[in-house]
Amino acid sequence: MTIMPMFPEHDSGSDNTPLPLIVAKKWDFPLAYHIVDGKYYYAIQDWVRGLLGVEDIRKIWTKFKMQKSWEEMSTTSRRLLYRASDGKTYPREFIIDKSLYLIAQYLRITRTRPVLHEIREFLAAAGVFVDEVRLDPTKVLTSGAISPDQAIDAGIEMYRAQGKSDAWIQMRVESKIKRDVFVKALGQAIAEILNRRHYAIATNDIYTGLWQRTAARLKQELLVSKNGSLRDRQPTMALYFQGIAEEASADKLGQRQELSWDEARDIIKTVSSMVGRYAKEMSEYLGKDLATGRPLLPS
C-alpha cells in the first residue's frame, strides 16, 4: 500500500486534476487527501467545512452520520493521518470522491449556506449527480436542486418539445398515476413477494387483453427500443384505455385479500378482456388501431 503525503503538490489547473480539488481551489478552501494504491481519499471535515463555509462542523456532522445515507458512504471511508492547524497529525476519516458528491447532495441548502448551492450547481454541471439521479430520480427533489413544481414543468416542456399536445401530456401523467395504483394494488393483494418478472407478466396480461399483443410486440410496431418507454410513443386513446384497464384491475384486486398469483392474473385478464372488447369496437368504428394510432388495414 502506497500512502502519499496529505498535501502533495498538485496542479489544479491541469486536465487530470480530480474534480474535488478543482472545487476546493475554486471556492478557496483546503482539502487534504491521500493517494492509497492509486485511489484518492479526501478529508471529510475539510470538504464539509468548505461546503458549509463554517469552521465548527461537529454538531452538523454528528447529525449527518445518524442518517441512513451515511451507512452507504461509510463503506468507502478510511482512517488516515490528518495534519491539523496546530501542526500535529491525527487519524481522521477520509473518503473517495463519489462519497464527497453524495455529501454535497444530501446536505440541506439554507440561506446561511450559499456556497453549498453554488458548489452543488457546479458539480451538477460537471455531471457527477447524473448516475445517482438515474438510479433514484427522487434525489433531485430531496436534494433541493429543484422543486416538485419545477420537475413537473420540466417534464411538460420536454414532451412539448417532442411535439406532444397538452391533451396527450395530461393523459400521459394520468396513465402514470394509474399504472402506479395498479402496481401497488397488485403487490398488496398477493400473499407472495413479487419481483420485476411478475410485474412484467401482469403488464403483458393488460396489453394482451386490450390489444391482443404483448408489450414487446407493440414496441416493435412503434419502433421503440427494448428499454425505451412504450407509453411515450402511444397515442392518447391507447393511454386512456390502458388506464381504464389498470384502474379497474386495481379496484377489483383491492376487493380481495391473500390472492394467489394465478388468481390475481385471472382478474387482470378478465378486466382487460372486457375493456378490450370495447376498445376493439371503437377501433373498428374509427378505422384505426388504438394501440398504435395507425390506420386499420382494409378487411
Model pLDDT for residues 85-128, shown as the tens digit of each residue: 888 898 999 999 888 888 887 777 666 677 888 887 788 666 66
pTM over 0.85: no
pLDDT of residue 292: 96
Domain boundaries, the chain: 19-146, 153-286
pLDDT at 145 over 60: no
pLDDT bin (cut points 50, 70, 90) of residue 293 is very high
The set of cell numbers assigned to 151 is 420537475
Angle at 147 between CA 141 and CA 153, to 5 degrees: 110
The set of cell numbers assigned to 154 is 420540466
User: Is residue 292 helix, strand or coil?
Assistant: coil
- Measured over the CA atoms of residue 225, residue 228, residue 230 and residue 232, the dihedral's sign is negative
pLDDT of residue 174: 94
- Of 14-18, 30-34, 55-59, 265-269, least confident by mean pLDDT is 14-18
Q: How far apart are CA 252 and CA 38, in angstroms?
A: 58
* Count of residues in the chain: 299
Closest C-alpha to 155, from 176, 136, 178: 176
Task: Tell me the per-residue pLDDT of 57-92, one tens digit each, with 9 for 90 and over.
Answer: 888 888 777 777 677 677 878 899 998 888 889 899
pLDDT of residue 142: 63
pLDDT of residue 65: 78
What residue type is 231 in one-letter code? R
What residue type is 8 in one-letter code? P
pLDDT bin (cut points 50, 70, 90) of residue 135 is low
pLDDT bin (cut points 50, 70, 90) of residue 168 is very high
What radius of gyration, in Å, describes the C-alpha atoms of the chain? 27
